[in-house]
Structure 1
Amino acid sequence: MAQPSPDHKARQPFLARPGVRRFAPFVLITAVALVFIFENRSDVEIRLLVPIVTMPLWGALLIAWALGMLACVFTVRRRASRHSRQPK
């Protein structure tokens, strides 16, 4: 049986990988938020500057959640690009 070379790295467990550890809280918070959103099914009146709109509460919460996710994506992308610049 062949012995692995001493410089061969042992495989990390799946949950110990940095990408998974960063992604796990996002998945958990998203699941809780979506359960909360879809449990609120009553109709509400929402004022959008001038007009008043009647819509299901889950729709309004889902729109707010999606806008928050977009803001997070743009913030993370901007921060990553700022850190990747080389000093002159």
Structure 2
Amino acid sequence: MTQASTDKTHRSFLSRPAVRRLIPFTLITAVALVFIFENRSSVEIRLLVPIVTMPLWGALLIAWALGMLACLFTVRRRSDRHARRQGL
């Protein structure tokens, strides 16, 4: 039996790097979504010029989604930059 095959059989699911990065993301997302959907009152929000009345959970959900998009673009851009640097 080779060393590579024994490493795969003894590696637990939680020891994989992708899974270790996914666990905090999942926990933070779950807590954020519970917080968002518990805030159901209506609020007035000023969007540059107009004032909009909407449920607070909707505003929080929009802010959370924009934050997730910003994080996605930042992580993707950082990994592309590292790949180009190593290719030189």
* Distance across 2 between alignment mates of 1:42 and 1:15: 39
* Distance across 2 between alignment mates of 1:9 and 1:32: 38
Match in the other structure for 1:62: 61
* Distance across 2 between alignment mates of 1:9 and 1:42: 56
Alignment of 1:1-88 (within 5 A): 5-7=1-3, 8-10=5-7, 11=9, 12-85=11-84, 86-87=87-88
Give the structure with higher Rg (CA).
1
State the aligned residue count: 83
Q: Any idea what the Cα deviations from partners look like across 1:42-76, whole Å, max 9, x if unmatched?
A: 00000000000000000000000000000000000
- TM-score, normalisation: structure 2: 0.90
In terms of fraction of residues, the more helix-rich structure is 2
* Distance across 2 between alignment mates of 1:9 and 1:48: 58
* Distance across 2 between alignment mates of 1:6 and 1:29: 40
- TM-score, normalisation: structure 1: 0.90
After the TM superposition, which parts of structure 1 deviate over 3 Å for at least 4 consecutive aligned residues? none
Which stretches in structure 2 are left out of the alignment for 5+ residues? none
